[in-house]
Chains A and B, each alone.
Chain A
């Protein structure tokens, strides 16, 4: 009789050689899993490429929009400055302009010289055939196929016989874009002729209907669409080529697998070169519901602050916008005197994720969005209550790490719009309005515990509808800049 406390030893020894034969289906199923996993490698990389392309495209569009917006702001400012110049410095009763404006015109003419000189280089024979007095005019006409004039301020009424307008679109002092129009009832002077012939710096005409038109680099830009189309076609071809090569790889991979099956040679050297398989470990079953606490922001502070020189409002006579009128055209009409410093917007929220598929989930919840801005006389704070609705898809689904894309829309209702004056007095301001944002991002999620994971999600946000679009108090920076880079980070909790 064995001692009853030795039952563990008795049992352990009894199972040392205990074996059972498995059905053939077990290996078949294992093999299916292994093959399925290895075939998934290619689609995953395609998806990563697609997501990266979308994110890159959005970033490029956002950056372009950002810088375009900046230059537009300067353009507005320049327009207003020139309007002031026109109204203050040019005497309607006198055909002359003051000394400072003359200096400015000379500067512009010098820039113009470069272009007219270029025209002469293009059509020298035609120019030589004409008499001296009309050589410059003909040279310009000969170049019409290459240069297109841009009339600045078509809607403006002529101020006097000599109408001089400049339209400067760049955001710095550089005068890269210039339209210059001179209307005169006077005969061209000898001085003009000389200056055209010798310096080729100014075109003139005999009547008010004659126009000398010149243009800048926009001609080159007009040519670009065709070349761009070519590029697109080329890129399509390369895309197809890449696609084909990837399919070829997939087929060759399948061939390797079938070779493996038929081979009885131990460790066939050919098979040693097979690409290492991705980890096949199944991820621990995830719950249907996830709770996420997130903090998001838009651009870095300095990124937002750059807008202060570009966007400004009229402190003296704020115009209430007509919602039916276009924002940009309204902007042209408004005087721009003051400036606004924008703070970095931030977003906090709690959202729930519900898994609708193995890789896809829908997210919704509540967010609190705050934007603020300082004008020269006050500070504005707007708080929105937002409801995001996002769809996300896991591109990479690992045990510890996920990569996903997320896209959706956030509806925001303004909770309050507070104005704080320089003395610190706070008062409610106008109706805070609403805001709608489209979001697209690529996020990564790292599991830091059994039920907790940390996520970081950079992306782009596009403001599609904002009640402040129609006002001139640009207290919500998102009403001014439509495209924003965004960054969300936070924790997700598995609720199951």
Chain B
């Protein structure tokens, strides 16, 4: 997959878009190569495992190539692709009929409360802790805290009320704050 990694970046985003619009398979592959790693990271945040994340990524890129004629070129291409990837992840979440009322007491009881978040947290830790959240919490937290969706947008996308979105986010944030505390982190790593 990395055999063309040098050549692909000779093409600018505009050239890639033009090539994709003409149905040029090579341009499509270049666009995929250039963006798929970061986009798989996005998919992984919304998926329980890498396998499912890759399935979402695949669907998302088919959409990207199909919708390429709607890209106006006004914003960054990566941002436009990211939006499609997130929307695909949301559709995947909805299709799995995930619920928002999962019990998290079992995890919550393992950790102390009232602690603070250390500055030296890395993405892996955060990601692992996010994945411990109930599915609904995960989704709302990812959308609001990381991908910048408003609660109104989240409510519309997930077909829940704004209040539900807000409360789920607050509870998710509180949990993560506990888990990311330096005292609790080792406990959480064992759980993971």
Contact = CB atoms under 8 A, between A and B. Distances in A.
Interface stretch (A124-132, A276-284, A319-327, A340-348): A276-284
B187 interface: no
Contact of A267 (B19, B58, B67, B145): B19
Interface residues of B, number: 57
B40 interface: yes
Nearest to A25: B54
Contacts of A266: 7, 10-11, 15, 26
A280 B66 contact: yes
Interface string B38-64: 101100110000100110011101110
Given A30-B58, A31-B25, A271-B24, A19 B145 contact: no
A99 interface: no
Nearest to A277: B23
Contact of A20 (B7, B22, B44): B44
B36 A22 contact: yes
Contact of B62 (A4, A10, A24, A33): A33
Contacts of B57: 22, 26
A276 B23 CA distance: 6
Nearest to A23: B54
B80 interface: no
B38 A18 contact: yes
A34 B64 CA distance: 11
Interface stretch (B97-105, B114-122, B131-139, B160-168): B114-122
A220 interface: no
Contacts of A8: 144-145, 173
Interface string A233-274: 000000000000000000000000100110110111001111
Contacts of A285: 95
A359 B190 CA distance: 51
A33 B118 CA distance: 45
B24 A19 contact: no
A228 interface: no
A33 B59 CA distance: 9
B106 interface: no
A227 B153 CA distance: 69
A12 B146 contact: yes
Contacts of A24: 1
B89 interface: no
B145 A11 contact: yes
A312 to B, nearest CB: 60
A38 interface: yes
B192 interface: no
B191 interface: no
B66 A30 contact: no
B186 interface: no
Given A1-B118, A20-B50, A29 B22 contact: no
B176 interface: yes
A20 B41 contact: yes
A11 B58 contact: no
Q: What are the 7 tightest A-B residue pairs by CB atom distance, in nearest-first order?
A: A280-B66, A281-B66, A277-B23, A260-B25, A19-B37, A18-B41, A20-B40
Given A266-B10, A277-B23, 13 more contacts: A7-B145, A20-B41, A21-B37, A26-B36, A30-B58, A33-B62, A34-B62, A37-B66, A260-B24, A266-B7, A267-B11, A267-B18, A267-B26
Interface of B: 1, 4, 7, 10-11, 15, 18-19, 21-29, 32-33, 36-38, 40-41, 44-45, 50, 53-54, 57-59, 61-63, 65-67, 69, 95, 116-119, 121-123, 126-127, 144-146, 148, 173, 176-177, 180
23 contacts: A1-B116, A2-B116, A4-B117, A7-B176, A11-B176, A14-B121, A18-B38, A20-B44, A20-B53, A22-B40, A22-B57, A31-B25, A31-B28, A33-B58, A263-B26, A267-B11, A267-B15, A272-B22, A274-B22, A274-B23, A275-B23, A276-B22, A279-B66
